[in-house]
């Protein structure tokens, strides 16, 4: 049987919520209803908030590594998507000092990760508004359902913020779900002598009275889990690719020697990736290498992927491929994670194939026949729980789904499909149903039913490779 493109439960919950909101908020001139405390993510019900759409984050932060103290003012510019009496932001830990809406003091309360804000006069459907939150404290390091650490990660001389899937809420209040992308301006002030590196372009750097303020601008929409700031002593490089794309790297001095040669390949990897995936989606590129005590994983932080030590070429290819698949085309919910990791893993296979290594077919065969390290534990499009979002089926079997499509449509059509998918949802969000529909539209004569049933949604190891 063909699986429905969207989970029935989510459709039902969403429909009921929308209907309720419409019933209570329409037409009567009343105060509206509170926005929701989540966007209905099947794995993280409290992530994000409904009732508004953020267009811009303006973050002014001051961080003192010695005291582990962060002081921030977040200005969140958004548009109400219905009439609202209140709205929620996600914020974990930290002390809230003041909240204003449109410059007027607003009432607020906190409950877990929900910061509920009540604008004095409510908000009309479609109204543009600005919430400003002043806050401070020692940011938390979170432990994810799978045991990995994220949020504010402490290093020997500073900190690195990594936010997949939830951790950005430990350093700024926001609509922390990948479905609500926005542009960012960030000013970070740190003790003179330290660097503060973030996504996008460095547009200002100014030292006064022993403190340096770094201004970073992210021009293209970004999901909040991809926002980062890295504070500490870094060896910086600023170069350009032959066609002018700025490449900024920031490397912990202790990792600098080991990282130099591999990071020097960023322009070469990007040139290959543009051939393979289409135009690079952002106005700047680069990398951050540091060693937080707690995190041993890399993350595709937008324009500036993070590495917990010098990466090998495969990992560099993986995180740069995420700039197309994950950062530009972002999952609609955390259930669609394989659209990130399956593609980034397949990028590694293709890189090897294009550079004289194993073909993707050989990699596929080795996985199909190889020792079962858990890759058949669940279908890539249906992780069994939040603890399994980064499990082997999401990465390896996700890549195998792409290879099955390639076998069916042939190399040329498959390469065109990779580029077409990146372009169809550039700077947007997409889910698994969007993907299967897209594949079917691109290859109208083909029947992909068995691939979806066995490889994408099916339990266990498919009978045939």
Query: Which residue in 87, 298, 409, 422 binds ligand TRP (CB under 6 A)?
Result: 298
Query: Which residue in 76, 186, 344, 402 binds Zn ion (CB under 5 A)?
Result: 344
Specify the residue, 74 or 263, whose C-beta has the smaller distance to ligand TRP: 263
Smallest gap from Cβ 343 to ligand TRP, in A, equals: 11
Total residues contacting ligand TRP by CB under 6 A comes to: 13
Strands 95-101 and 104-105: antiparallel
Phi-psi region for residue 257, left (φ > 0), alpha (ψ -120 to 50) or beta? Answer: alpha
- The H helix count followed by the E strand count for the chain is 11, 23
Q: Does residue 14 touch ligand TRP according to CB under 6 A?
A: no
Contact 438, 446 (CB under 8 A): no
Q: Which residue has the tokens 């499909």?
A: 417
Which entry of ligand TRP, Zn ion, none binds 438, CB below 5 to 8 A by partner kind?
Answer: none
Closest CA to 422 of 319, 271, 321: 321
Smallest gap from Cβ 178 to ligand TRP, in A, equals: 11
Please tell me the distance from the alpha carbon of residue 389 to that of residue 392, in angstroms, as a whole number.
9
Binding mask 164-203 for ligand TRP (x = CB under 6 A): xx--------------------------------------
Scanning 47-55, 119-127, 130-138, 296-304 for contacts with ligand TRP by CB under 6 A, the matching segment is: 296-304
Please tell me the distance from the alpha carbon of residue 94 to that of residue 82, in angstroms, as a whole number.
29
Please tell me the distance from the alpha carbon of residue 150 to that of residue 173, in angstroms, as a whole number.
16
Smallest gap from Cβ 465 to Zn ion, in A, equals: 24
Contact 404, 455 (CB under 8 A): yes
Binding mask 377-406 for ligand TRP (x = CB under 6 A): ------------xx----------------
Structure tokens at 139: 């940011």
Smallest gap from Cβ 270 to Zn ion, in A, equals: 17
Q: Does residue 297 touch ligand TRP according to CB under 6 A?
A: yes
Scanning 101-109, 140-148, 333-341, 447-455 for contacts with Zn ion by CB under 5 A, the matching segment is: 333-341
Q: Does residue 341 touch ligand TRP according to CB under 6 A?
A: yes
Structure tokens at 360: 């993707």
For Zn ion, the nearest residue by Cβ is 344
Q: In what order do the strands lie in the sheet with 128-137?
A: 104-105, 95-101, 128-137, 69-80, 52-64, 182-191, 211-222, 201-208
Bridge partners, 433 (sequence order): none
Please tell me the distance from the alpha carbon of residue 443 to that of residue 404, in angstroms, as a whole number.
14
Residues that bind ligand TRP (CB under 6 A): 148, 164-165, 297-300, 318-319, 322, 341, 389-390
Residues that bind Zn ion (CB under 5 A): 341, 344
């Amino acid at each position: 049987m063909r699986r429905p493109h969207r989970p029935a439960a989510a459709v039902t919950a969403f429909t009921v919520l929308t209907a309720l909101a419409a019933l209570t908020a329409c037409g009567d001139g009343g105060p509206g209803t509170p926005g929701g405390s989540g966007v209905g993510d099947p794995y993280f019900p409290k992530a994000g908030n409904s009732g508004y759409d953020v267009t811009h984050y303006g973050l002014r932060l001051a961080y003192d590594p010695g005291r582990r103290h962060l002081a921030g003012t977040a200005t969140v510019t958004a548009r109400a998507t219905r009439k609202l009496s209140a709205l929620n932001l996600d914020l974990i830990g930290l002390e809230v000092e003041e909240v204003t809406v449109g410059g007027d003091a607003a009432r607020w309360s906190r409950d877990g990760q929900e910061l509920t804000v009540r604008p004095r006069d409510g908000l009309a459907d479609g109204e543009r508004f600005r919430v400003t939150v002043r806050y401070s404290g020692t940011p938390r390091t979170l432990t994810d359902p799978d045991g990995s650490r994220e949020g504010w990660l402490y290093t020997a001389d500073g900190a690195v913020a990594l936010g997949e899937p939830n951790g950005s809420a430990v350093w700024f209040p926001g609509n922390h779900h990948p479905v609500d992308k926005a542009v960012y301006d960030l000013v970070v002030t740190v003790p003179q002598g330290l660097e503060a590196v973030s996504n996008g372009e460095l547009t200002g750097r100014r030292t006064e009275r022993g403190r340096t303020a770094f201004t970073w601008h992210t021009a293209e929409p970004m999901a909040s889990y991809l926002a980062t700031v890295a504070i500490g002593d870094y060896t910086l490089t600023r170069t350009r690719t032959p066609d002018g794309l700025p490449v900024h790297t920031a490397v912990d001095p202790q990792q600098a020697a080991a990282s130099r040669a591999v990071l020097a390949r960023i322009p070469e990897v990007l040139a290959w990736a543009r051939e393979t995936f289409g135009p690079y989606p952002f106005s700047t590129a680069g990398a951050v290498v540091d060693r937080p005590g707690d995190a041993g994983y890399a993350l595709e932080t937008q324009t500036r992927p993070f590495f917990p030590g010098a990466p090998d070429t495969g990992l560099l290819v993986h995180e740069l491929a995420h700039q197309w698949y994950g950062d530009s085309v972002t999952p609609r919910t955390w259930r669609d994670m394989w659209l990130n990791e399956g593609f980034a893993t397949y990028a590694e296979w293709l890189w090897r194939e294009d550079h004289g290594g194993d073909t993707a077919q050989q990699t596929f065969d080795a996985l199909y026949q190889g020792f079962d390290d858990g890759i058949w534990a669940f279908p890539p499009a249906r992780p069994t729980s939040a603890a399994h979002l980064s499990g082997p089926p999401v990465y390896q079997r996700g890549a195998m789904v792409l290879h099955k499509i390639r076998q069916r449509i042939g190399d040329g059509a498959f390469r065109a499909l990779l580029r077409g998918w990146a372009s169809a949802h550039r700077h947007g969000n997409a889910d698994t149903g969007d993907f299967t529909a897209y594949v079917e539209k691109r290859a109208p004569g083909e029947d992909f039913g068995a691939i979806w049933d066995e490889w994408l949604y099916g339990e266990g190891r498919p009978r045939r490779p």
